[in-house]
Amino acid sequence: MAQRNSYGEALRQARIRRGMDIHSVSRRLRIRLDILHAIEEANFPQLPPSGYTRNMITAYARLVGLDPLA
């Protein structure tokens, strides 16, 4: 299986390292599960307009301890 090196994969790995499941991230950030899955899988057609998505990714990165500007 090919290794994914996307921002979504980095967020997923950081979430797992922190011992968080995707349901707790969804509750804390108030982002629907289907959108979080789309972010982690870099499934662009399933994501909302870019402005909303950018804010969600920034919040997700901060929650899991990543630099949202990196």
pLDDT, residue 35, reads: 97
pLDDT, residue 6, reads: 86
| Maximum Cα–Cα distance across the chain | 32
8 A C-beta contact, residue 65 and residue 18: yes
* Mean pLDDT per 10-residue segment, the chain (70 residues): 72 97 98 97 92 95 92
Q: 53 vs 5, 40, 57, 61, 62, CA distance in Å?
A: 19, 12, 6, 12, 14
